Structure 1
Amino acid sequence: MAATADIRRLTLDGRPLRIEDVVDVALRRARTSLSTDPAFRARIQRGADLVDRLIAEDGVVYGVSTGYGDSCTVAIPPSLVPELPRHLYTYHGVGLGRWLTPEETRAVLFARLQSLVQGMSGVSIALLEQLQALLEHDILPLIPAEGSVGASGDLTPLSYVAAALCGERQVWHDGRLMPAAEALAMHGLRPLRLRPKEGLAIMNGTAVMTGLACLALRRADYLGRLATRLTAWNVAASAGNAHHFDQTLFAAKPHPGQQRVAARLRRDLASDRPPRNEQRLQDRYSLRCAPHVIGVLEDALPMLRSMLENELNSANDNPLIDAEQEMVLHGGHFYGGHIAFAMDSLKNLVANLADLLDRQLAVLVDSRYNHGLPANLSGAEGVRAPLNHGLKALQISVSAWTAEALKLTMPASVFSRSTECHNQDKVSMGTIAARDALRVLELSEQVAAAMLIASRQALALRRRTGSEPQLAPEATAMQADLEARIPLLVEDRALDGELRALLAAIRAEEWPLYEA
């Protein structure tokens, strides 16, 4: 957790927030509070009051005095209406798969809270305060990752949030699993009794896919920058041609993100100097075309950010309650199509980074193509050279991780399934797409961790040949940091501990990479 002095305080009142806010809350670099502004609280209360009045006057409000989904034609007797929200989260307790991590869970809670404070969900201040208290005290519902089709909201995973608010099921708190009621009591909180519409308001939204997607986008942005730095090192290590990234060349195909990547490579390689006659005219595509691969991600990030932040700052349950016009608006804002598209796109872009780095590694370890470096980048010399195998096995693992990442790029959104008696007959699969994207990121970060070892090894071995790679100060400083973390591989050793440490460093963004 960040030091207390570094923790931001975010006051939620319906104003737009950014992906960085989600990430900071997820990593506990920011804390949340609800606005105390009387106008904000009055706006929330008007929505809850309208729901109460509609029940009293009309008697029929979807999901309040009727069953859910295809059961909307089933009227609930007035005496049983207060029990309906509990039945909603109870029968949705069917999730399976891995548990969301603490970081992912905080992102989900924050995304749901930001949607509800828009003031169009007909909920009470008490519900918002209880949800905010979970974040404030780090009481994290144990949420299974699987079971949402991404339309009618993330119903099943969000049922675990609703249950925790009401003191039911399990939470992760204070370093251990415990009953939700116990964790609430530790902070003087009582289990909530959901009012009419509040079960739907918690569960009938896109918070799980949105929270996961925000975390994924941040990780992808950093990974793209890291792939750029790795490419610069690999060009230098393989005695490549830095002038593949010439400014005039990239002005002829002016994709802005692609141009930014080329400019970063020029700076890292200190390549604004006349080419030497002995330089090769053309390197292999994995080096020469790196801006064209990484640049697609760089150009896509602003569009994907816009989609995610629109979703984050939206009211996305059903029905919506417009207290100003006294209207109940039935629609489908729970449909996660934009998140599905964004995450299906992102996992393709990220897997291409893994594939790019995998191909660069193949060049580096092959003595036929690496221009004077030893086979498998082995640092062993003399009589012990035949005994040692360098990075031979590491390349095999990189190939496996890359293949698995590429396999997961099939778009989840095209696998819509009709369900719930054909009421949910077209669904987004946005939550599956977000989970896929996180898995592709995990695998691609593993590839990048391996490449940090390989690039560190290759640069040192290039120096051994008597050629000092020309790198800019920032790239040189990071190289020195890496050399302090990882001893040169001379005698064969297991690398898994170093890989895990590097993976943690990547996910913590320990190296500043280019401009923000």
Structure 2
Amino acid sequence: MNNTFLYGTDHLTIGICLDIASGKTQGIIGPEAAEAIRTSKEEVTKIVHSQQPVYGVNTGFGPMCDTHISEKDTSQLQINILKSHSVGVGKPIPAEIAKIMMITKVHALAQGYSGISPQTLERIIWFIDHDVIPLVPEKGSVGASGDLAPLSHLFLPLIGLGQVFHKGAQLSSAHVLEEYGLVPLALGPKEGLALINGTQFILAFAVKAVQRLGNSLDIADLIGAMSLEGLTGSKRPFDKRLHQLRPYKGTKLVAQRLSALLEGSEIGTSHINCSRVQDPYSIRCMPQVHGASRNAWLHLKELTEIELNSVTDNPIIFSAEDTISGGNFHGQPLAMALDYVTVAAAELGNIADRRCYLMNEGRYDLPKLLIADAGLNSGLMIPQYTTAALVTENKTLCFPASADSVPTSLGQEDHVSMGSISGRKLHQVIDNLEYIQAIELLYASQAIEFRRPLQSAPVIEACHQLVRQHVPPITEDRIFSDDINQLHQLICDGTLLALAEETAILNHINLTKDEEFSIY
């Protein structure tokens, strides 16, 4: 992969966006984009001189769209909009999300339809490259006329206002600019509006959600296979022929992955001729349930990539004589998908909780509560209470924010997407899901102990050994939250998945996903 990305001309993917945010790839303005930016800026200058009314260039905003602004006040208008629209409340969003917002905004503006100046874009790129991250409150956007409040906070530092995170500290932007010998920018006509009118808050949460949920989907298959082994379940329901008869992309992929994970297991072959006819749904229907969540993920990924390469501000400047006040800033396309994927993420936790409950029941030659001396010890009785609580919390977060709309701007903006809420809720659900998966990993690893001396398949054994390096087998009661937090760390920092993938490669096991499931 090329380590340089050309804003405004290259195709931006989720993976490349995340690589720019992490410093693996550098985003720059190339000659083609530079020319388009310069031309668009000149067209806005013509509009100002012509006195032709164009929204946000020489008119007021929202319900004041019919109010004329004089040529001498067009720059002050842009500064005022950044100040007046900075009304966010609540905790700051994660620095990575704010950085993704800047990256995606530069790419949208660099396409040359927004009238932004080259100097303004170069300053935003400077913020990205030097890891100077504006403080953006998490609440206050309704997701149309774009993400006005969070984007206003994001770009206050351009004019020397607001707060930033830099080198581990929260500082005033004025202090950081002075430290680097920079002065605040004087915004030109339309620049303030171009900066704050767009979907980059919603989009940044979608970008990160695609990455996080993609990892959770892989983890769901891996830990689900471990649970199956602990429960001596059958891999027959993952037969390729079965899923060719109902060929959903996600379902076929999950069936293939589960089959590969379980290939060569001594535990699996030890009960081929047992009397059990069918496994419970939480074991047998993993391809259908995990696969449905993968299908939803695919849809969100597709829409997110379209949005990454779109121009979402307003008005759009084709030329001084050809401007369109449209609705590309409206967040509904992503809002509905984010709500749908919130359900998909919650369902991964729901089925994982069912497997935890199943392992606790004392069926299939497992001891009740997964401990040999139950009674004196409560064993793994109570961690399933936590999964039940998290599953229920996730259900309450599944109400679609995009199903609601509250009129704003004195009725001028009479239908809004609420997509910012959709994006934040999805991440709350993924937070809970990662803890549910950590608890299922605790259960599955303990259940496998009762199948010894039989060995599972190579990837599952490697993951089981990794768990045992951090969490010993359970022989008596202890503070299980410590174990849960250890396993949660292995999931969230990528250690568990990295080991699974490395082991699969070494053992010539095909766990690879086709290109459609890649974020690049």
- Shorter chain as denominator, the TM-score bin is over 0.9
Unaligned runs of 5+ in 1: 1-5
Mean alpha-carbon deviation: is it higher for 51-60 or for 331-340? Answer: 51-60
Q: 1:422 to 1:434 in 2, by over 3 A?
A: same
Partners of 1:420 and 1:153 lie apart in 2 by 13
Aligned length: 498
Equivalent residue runs for 1:280-295 within 5 Å? 280-295=276-291
- Does the alignment pair 1:117 with 2:73? no
How high is the TM-score relative to the length of structure 1?
0.92
**Alignment-mate amino acid for residue 432 of structure 1:** I
CA apart distance, 1:233: 0.8
Which of 352, 358, 365 aligns to 1:357? It is: 352
SS in 2 for 1:386: coil
Query: Residues 327-476 of structure 1 correspond to what in structure 2 (within 5 A)?
Result: 327-367=322-362, 370-378=363-371, 381=373, 385-463=374-452, 468-471=454-457, 473-476=458-461
CA change 1:427–1:502 in 2 (3 A) is same
Structure 1 counterpart of 2:15: 20
Matching of residue 311 in structure 1 with residue 317 in structure 2: no
Contact 2:79 2:192 in 1 (8 A): yes
**Higher alpha-carbon deviation: 352-361 or 159-168:** 159-168
Is the CA contact 2:315–2:326 (under 8 Å) kept in the aligned structure 1?
A: yes
Find the counterpart in structure 1 of residue 28 from structure 2.
34
Separation (CA, whole Å) in 2 of partners of 1:286 and 1:11 = 46
Question: Partners of 1:15 and 1:85 in 2: how far apart?
Answer: 29
| Residue 481 of structure 2 corresponds to residue 496 of structure 1 | yes
Shift of 1:74: 1.3
**SS of aligned partner of 1:387:** coil
Deviation (angstroms), 1:31: 4.0
Q: Which residue of 1 aligns with 2:505?
A: none
TM-score by length of 2: 0.91
Contact preservation (8 Å) 2:34, 2:118? yes
1:45 and 2:34 correspond: no
Note the C-alpha offset of 1:276.
2.1
2:378 alignment partner AA: H
Percent of counterpart pairs with the same letter?
A: 32
Secondary structure of the corresponding residue to residue 143 of structure 2? coil
Equivalent residues of 2:98, 2:133 under 8 A apart: yes
Letter paired with 1:43: A
Partner in structure 2 of residue 210 of structure 1: 203
1:372-411 deviation digits (Å, cap 9, x = unpaired) = 2122212x54xxx533222222111111111111211111
* Residue 252 (structure 2) pairs with residue 256 (structure 1): no
**How far apart, CA to CA, are the structure 2 residues paired with 1:375 and 1:495?**
17
Other-structure match for 1:515:
512
Alpha-carbon distance between aligned partners in 2 of 1:91 and 1:500, rounded to the nearest angstrom: 43
Which residue identity lines up with residue 25 of structure 1 in the other structure? I
- Determine if contact 2:33/2:111 at 8 Å carries over to the other structure: no
Note the C-alpha offset of 1:195: 1.1
Residues 49 and 71 of structure 2 are in contact (CA less than 8 Å); yes or no, is this contact kept in structure 1? Answer: no
Q: 1:77 to 1:58 in 2, by over 3 A?
A: closer
Q: Distance in 1 between matches of 2:188 and 2:410?
A: 27
Distance 1:269 1:292, change over 3 A: same
Aligned-residue Cα RMSD (Å) equals 2.0
Larger CA deviation: 486-495 vs 84-93:
486-495
Partner of 2:506: none
Q: Which residue of 2 aligns with 1:3?
A: none
| Structure 1: distance between partners of 2:145 and 2:58 | 18
- What corresponds to 1:201 in structure 2? 194
1:109-152 Cα shifts (integer Å, max 9, x gaps): 11111111111111011111111111111111110111111110
Shift of 1:498: 3.5
Distance 1:187 1:7, change over 3 A: farther
